[in-house]
Amino acid sequence: MTTSAELIGRAQELLPVLKARAAETEALRRPHDDTINDLIDAGIIQMLVPKRWGGAESDLKTMFEVVDTLAQGCISSAWIAAFYIGHNLYAAKLTPQAQDELFGARGFVLLPAATAPTMKAEPVDGGWRITGSAPWGSGVMHADWVMVSGMTPEKTPRSFIMPVSDITVKDTWRFSGMAGTGSNDIVVNDVFVPHYRSIDGVDLRKGPTDGTALYDNPLYAIPLVPMAYATIVPVLTGGLKGALSAFEDIVDRRVRNFSGAVVKDQQHTHITLGEVQVGTQAVDILGRAHVARTEALVQTGFTTDDRISLKGSAGYLARTGREVSQNMMANAGSSNYHHDQPMQRFWRDLATVTSHAFWDWDIAREQVGRRHFGLPINHPIV
């Protein structure tokens, strides 16, 4: 069985490879084929798959180290890796019959999971007919199965699993940041999904299901939203470290135009560099604490207060990471806006990923404040 140390070591070996492919990945507007194969060969995609199916059944702290390392080279690639890793947990929440079908072929899945209920779901004999479109299909470019979601006639959310051959990918992913994720739209046209390959959206968000009863490990009963936060945090921390490394390279060698001043000899540079180094370290410390707390709550259960606190933590990490990366870019010099320079790619990617609805800072801090006054949650993503 693959150990945590082995997984982290393999991620470290892939770091320079992903860094070298980052520009090409962005130009492709999707993950590099070789990167996906490398992640599978390294056992990284499979790291949270239950041992029952041949996976390492690792933990969130190891996932943090792995994804954080990958993001230092290419944020887009790390984002897809994190989603594929985490979404194997979602597959473990499905019915035993569905798990046999998804895991049985090769012991893991490459599963984009669109949880916003954008699809039309019509109940029919033995299952559902699904039609519609889902944006933000991170992972769809190399998927073998796809999860989409819709509202039932009873106005309850439900998610549906279908083979990728049943869907069409609509090429919509033309973004200035996170361009290499290939998060195109998932289009479904009157596809039948048997009932056993669907799951109640409320149960999915709560965590425990009939499927998770197959496992003694409580990780498989983790609620969806706290797992999503744990998935994104190492992308932020690692991406910020990658940006810092690029910024340090810049200030080590930069000479100002016209004046000829050596940047590393200037006090302003010392202050700015110290500020972004401390900021990056603080985000890393907060990120590790966030994931450690989530791992502890896996054992004890998640209260409403825990969920709101984790949302606040994720939102604060995203907001702070965005500010630190913006400070780097503002002091990097105009030549670093050239597409050949890694600094601008880290900056654009971080600006995009920190804008995600799941860790929206305005929503997060509102929920924390409302809790103080005993007011109910007024947002679905908690």
Residues 248 and 133 reside in one and the same domain: no
Report residue 223 as tokens. 């609620």
Residues 343 and 273 reside in one and the same domain: yes
Question: Across the chain, what does the average pLDDT equal?
Answer: 96
Taking alpha carbons only, the member of 15, 5, 171, 208 closest to residue 94 is: 208
Q: Is residue 205 part of a domain?
A: no
Cα distance between the two ends of the chain: 35
Residues 47 and 131 reside in one and the same domain: no
In this model, does residue 255 exceed pLDDT 80? no
State residue 143's pLDDT score: 98
List the beta bridge partners of residue 186: 134, 169
Residues 313 and 245 reside in one and the same domain: yes
pLDDT tens per residue, range 8-18: 999 999 999 99
Candidate from 257-261, 327-331, 356-360 with smallest mean pLDDT: 257-261
Residues 227 and 367 reside in one and the same domain: yes
Residues 100 and 118 reside in one and the same domain: no
State residue 254's pLDDT score: 75
Cα–Cα distance, 121 to 166 (Å, whole number): 15
Q: What total number of domains does the chain contain?
A: 3
In this model, does residue 256 exceed pLDDT 80? no
Residue 335 domain boundaries: 223-372
In this model, does residue 55 exceed pLDDT 90? yes
Cα–Cα distance, 168 to 188 (Å, whole number): 7
Q: Is residue 206 part of a domain?
A: no
Residues 75 and 34 reside in one and the same domain: yes
In this model, does residue 264 exceed pLDDT 90? no
Residues 233 and 144 reside in one and the same domain: no
Query: pLDDT-based confidence at 209, cuts 50/70/90?
Result: very high
**Of the residues 166, 200, 234, which one is the last residue of a structural domain?**
200
The 3-class SS string of the chain reads: CCCHHHHHHHHHHHHHHHHHHHHHHHHHCCCCHHHHHHHHHCCCCCCCCCHHHCCCCCCHHHHHHHHHHHHCCCHHHHHHHHHHHHHHHHHCCCCHHHHHHHHHCCCCCCCCEEEEEEEEEEEECCEEEEEEEECCCCCHHHCCEEEEEEECCCCCEEEEEEEHHHCEEECCCCCCCCHHHCCCEEEEEEEEEEHHHEEEHHHHHHCCCCCHHHCCCHHHHCCHHHHHHHHHHHHHHHHHHHHHHHHHHHHHHCECCCCCCEHHHCHHHHHHHHHHHHHHHHHHHHHHHHHHHHHHHHHHCCCHHHHHHHHHHHHHHHHHHHHHHHHHHHCCCHHHHCCCCHHHHHHHHHHHHCCCHHHCHHHHHHHHHHHHCCCCCCCCCC
CATH label of the domain that carries residue 323: 1.20.140.10
In this model, does residue 370 exceed pLDDT 80? yes
CATH label of the domain that carries residue 47: 1.10.540.10
State residue 262's pLDDT score: 85
CATH label of the domain that carries residue 150: 2.40.110.10
Query: pLDDT-based confidence at 183, cuts 50/70/90?
Result: very high
**Of the residues 104, 133, 157, which one is the last residue of a structural domain?**
104
Q: What is the pTM of this model?
A: 0.96
Residues 117 and 147 reside in one and the same domain: yes
Residues 161 and 117 reside in one and the same domain: yes
Side by side, which strands form the sheet with 145-151? 168-170, 185-194, 127-134, 113-124, 145-151, 157-163, 198-200
Residues 191 and 319 reside in one and the same domain: no
In this model, does residue 60 exceed pLDDT 90? yes
Question: Which residue is listed with tokens 């070298």?
Answer: 20
Please, what's the b/e burial string for 211-246 (b: 16 or more CB within 10 A of its CB; e: otherwise)?
bbeeeebebbbbbbbbbbbbbbbbbbbbbbbbbbbb
Residues 99 and 123 reside in one and the same domain: no
Question: Which residue is listed with tokens 């479904």?
Answer: 188
**What is the rounded average pLDDT of the residues 358-366?**
96
**What is the rounded average pLDDT of the residues 138-149?**
98
Cα–Cα distance, 32 to 30 (Å, whole number): 6
1 versus 287: the higher-pLDDT residue is 287
**What is the rounded average pLDDT of the residues 203-215?**
96
**What is the rounded average pLDDT of the residues 185-214?**
97
In this model, does residue 258 exceed pLDDT 90? no
pLDDT tens per residue, range 265-302: 889 889 999 999 999 999 999 999 999 999 999 999 99
- Counting residues of the chain whose pLDDT is more than 90, the rounded percentage is 94
**What is the rounded average pLDDT of the residues 53-60?**
97
Q: Is residue 382 part of a domain?
A: no
Q: Is residue 129 part of a domain?
A: yes
**What is the rounded average pLDDT of the residues 97-105?**
97
In this model, does residue 378 exceed pLDDT 90? yes
**Of the residues 104, 138, 165, which one is the last residue of a structural domain?**
104
Q: Is residue 380 part of a domain?
A: no
State residue 253's pLDDT score: 85
Cα–Cα distance, 81 to 21 (Å, whole number): 15
